[in-house]
A and B are shown apart, each in its own frame.
Chain A
Amino acid sequence: MFFEGTLAWSDILFLLKGAVVTIAITLAAVGIGTLFGTLFGVVRAGAAWWISSPIGGVLDIFRSVPLLIQLVIFNSFNSMFRLNWPTYVVACLCLGVYAAALCTEIVRSGVAAVPTTTRRAARSLGLTWRQEVVSITLPIATRIVFPSWIGLALGIMKDTSLVLWIGIIELLRSSQIVTTRVQEPLTILAITGVIYFLMSFPIARLGARLEKRWQIQ
Chain B
Amino acid sequence: MSYTFQWRPVLESLPDMLSGAVVTLEIATLAMAVGTVLAILLALAKRSGNKTLSGLASVWIETARNTPALFQIYMVYFGLGSIGVGIDSYYALLLGITFNNAGYLAETFRGGFSAVPETQVRAARSLGMGAVQTLWHIVLPQMLRAVFHAMTNQMVWSILMTSLGTIVGLTSDLTGVTQQLNVMTYRTFEYFFVAACLYYLISKIFTICARLCAWRLFRY
Contact = CB atoms under 8 A, between A and B. Distances in A.
Interface of A: 61, 64-70, 72-73, 75-77, 79-82, 154, 158-162, 164-165, 172, 179, 184-186, 189-190, 192-193, 196-197, 200-201, 204
Nearest to B206: A64
Given A66-B160, A69-B175, A80-B1, A159 B82 contact: no
Given A64-B156, A65-B160, A68-B175, A196 B192 contact: no
A108 to B, nearest CB: 16
B196 A161 contact: no
B131 interface: no
A81 B3 contact: yes
Contacts of B195: 69
Contacts of A189: 71, 74-75, 78-79
Nearest to B74: A189
Interface in B164-183: 164, 166-167, 175, 178
Most chain B CB inside 10 Å of its own CB: which residue of A69, A154, A189, A193: A69
Contact of B82 (A64, A80, A186, A201): A186
Given A70-B196, A196-B68, 12 more contacts: A65-B200, A66-B164, A68-B163, A69-B199, A75-B188, A162-B70, A162-B164, A164-B167, A185-B79, A186-B82, A189-B75, A197-B62
Nearest to B65: A204
B168 to A, nearest CB: 11
A65 B197 CA distance: 8
Interface of A (DSSP majority class): helix
20 contacts: A61-B200, A66-B162, A68-B167, A68-B175, A69-B163, A69-B175, A69-B178, A69-B192, A69-B195, A73-B192, A73-B193, A79-B188, A80-B1, A81-B1, A161-B70, A185-B79, A190-B79, A193-B71, A196-B66, A196-B67
B67 to A, nearest CB: 4
Contact of B2 (A73, A82, A204): A82
Interface string B65-101: 1111111001100110111000000000000000000
B67 A158 contact: yes
For the complex of A and B, list the 8 residue pairs with the smallest distance between their C-beta atoms, beginning with the closest: A66-B163, A161-B68, A200-B66, A158-B68, A185-B82, A185-B78, A64-B203, A76-B189
Contacts of A76: 188-189, 192
A190 B69 CA distance: 14
Contacts of A204: 65-66
B204 interface: yes
A67 B160 contact: yes
B89 to A, nearest CB: 15
B19 interface: no
B167 to A, nearest CB: 6
Contacts of B83: 186
Most chain B CB inside 10 Å of its own CB: which residue of A77, A161, A190: A161
